[in-house]
Every structure is written in structure tokens, then in C-alpha cells.
Amino acid sequence: MNQVNQAETASRRSRGRPLETGQQDLREKILDTAEQMFTESGYAATPIRRIADSCGVNPALVHYYFGNKRDLLQATLERALAPLIKALANFKDDQQAGIGDISHLLISMAAEHPNIPRLMTREVLLPGGEMQDYFIENMAPRLGGALPELVKREKSKGQLRDDLDPDFAALMILSMSFFPFIARTLAEQVLDIDFTNKGIEMLNQRVASLLDKGMSK
């Protein structure tokens, strides 16, 4: 059975049901490959066929799982950011979560998906980014939009400086947490920054310390 027929058969079998283990593994492999290739070459220069060839599958199978190429890019971002968005939402109910916990959460996501900060820079932050409009409308309110509210809460509890602006504070938290991963290539080669687990833990400590000294009373 060729892969086009496999895709059609899988579609009939899995419609309305969770993916089987093998299907889920393949889906994750496609997402991993797309995340890397979209980051390295850019969305426009990365055809579906190149992603499919790297995964050893037919392009029809990629279309079956994700639709068109833009849908695949969207799924790549959603996979990495959806857990982060959920965790930030949970922080609203966690009165013990502070600024350092937020930066730790952001850094942990970037460490798990190190290509995502660079991919977001290319396809969300820069002018003409393929996902810019989608991100602004669907993800930013739940991601960046949640940070100022958390900063306001900590400020109202007397934990942060009275002159601290929540919006600028949110921008600083995002910048300090994500920029090291955007600049990773130079950071490793020029600054000798370690991005192993030990280095990530040190980064967490340094960022939390800077935020505490700059924002806390």
C-alpha cells in the first residue's frame, strides 16, 4: 500500500478518534522537522515536499495531518506555545507565583523548543512575518497579554516597585527570557554561554536575580 492510500486509510480509521501511537509519533516527527526547517530556511523557502522527504514520507501524508503549509507552521507554533499559554493562565489562580516563576516558565519552554524563539522572530516579529496577524489576533492576548496582568497583581500585593509599568515590565520579562535563545549561535561561539541543562539553570538564576533586583521593592 503506497503512502497516499495509507493516508486515506488512516483518515477513515482515525476520524473522530485519537491518533494511534505510530501516527502520533509520525505527527511529532513532522512537527520537529518543520520547526527546524522553517527556522533555518524560513517559511517561504521551505516546501512541504522537503519536509516530507526529510521524514521519509509522501507529501500527501503531511497534508493529511496538517492541511496546507501555513496550517503546518501554525501547528508548529501552537504545539510549543499552547502549554505555555495554559501555564500562564494557571498562574492567575496561583497567588504564590512571582516574577521569577514567570521567567522560569518562559525559559523552560524555550529550552524545550529552542528553535521557537528564532522562528517567532522570523515569522511573527519581523515585518511581513507569515504568522504575524494570526499571532496578534489569537495568541498574543493569551501569552504577552497575560503578563501585564500578572505584574499588576504582584504590584498590588506590594511585591514590586510603585513606579513599575506593567506593560514595559512584561516586555522586559519576555526579552530577557527569549533573547538568549534567539542569539544562541553567537552566545555559544562568542560568549561561551552553555546551553546544556546546567547552563539553562544558570540562565534561570541570572534572569530571576536581575528581574528581582530591577523590579522588586
CATH of the domain at 189: 1.10.357.10
What's the rounded mean pLDDT across residues 170-180?
A: 92
pTM of the model: 0.79
3-12, 13-22, 143-152: which range is least confident on average? Answer: 3-12
- Same-domain pairing of 211 and 164: yes
Would you state the pLDDT for residue 154?
A: 86
CA-to-CA separations, 74 to 26, 149, 196, in angstroms, rounded:
17, 26, 28
CA–CA dist 86, 28 (Å, integer): 20
Segment 56-63 long-range contacts (CB within 8 Å, at least 24 positions apart)? 57/3, 57/26, 57/30, 58/2, 58/3, 58/4, 58/7, 60/3, 60/4, 60/7, 61/3, 61/4, 61/6, 61/7, 61/26, 62/30, 63/7
The per-residue pLDDT for 32 is 95
How far apart (Å, rounded) are the C-alpha atoms in residues 39 and 129? 12
Instruction: Give the pLDDT confidence score for residue 6 in this predicted structure.
Output: 44
Structure-model confidence comparison of residues 75 and 154, the more confident one: 75
Q: Mean pLDDT across the chain, nearest whole number?
A: 86
pLDDT, tens digit (0-9, with 9 covering 90-100), for 155-167: 888 888 999 999 9
Mapped to the 3 state alphabet, what secondary structure does the chain carry? CCHHHHHHHHHHHHCCCCCCHHHHHHHHHHHHHHHHHHHHHCCCCCCHHHHHHHHCCCHHHHHHHHCCHHHHHHHHHHHHHHHHHHHHHHHCCCCCCCHHHHHHHHHHHHHHCCCHHHHHHHHHHCCCCCCHHHHHHHHCCCCCCHHHHHHHHHHHCCCECCCCCHHHHHHHHHHHHHHHHHCHHHHHHCCCCCCCHHHHHHHHHHHHHHHHHHHEC
Question: Does residue 94 fall inside a structural domain?
Answer: yes
Residue 96 has pLDDT above 50, yes or no: yes
**Of 67, 87, 115, which one is at a domain's C-terminal end?**
67
On the question of pLDDT at 4 being above 60, the answer is: no
The parent domain of residue 29 ranges over 3-67
The model's pLDDT over 101-153, given as tens digits with 9 standing for 90+, comes to 888 989 998 999 989 999 999 999 999 899 999 999 988 887 767 888 888 88
Chosen domain end from 25, 47, 67 = 67
The domain total for the chain is: 2
Residue 34 scores a pLDDT above 90: yes
Same domain? 82 vs 38: no
Query: Does residue 72 sit within a domain?
Result: no
Domain boundary among 12, 37, 67: 67
pLDDT of residue 134: 92
Q: Is the pLDDT of residue 18 over 60?
A: no
Instruction: Please report which confidence band the pLDDT of residue 198 belongs to, taking 50, 70 and 90 as the band edges.
Output: very high
Confidence of residue 16 (pLDDT cuts 50, 70, 90): very low
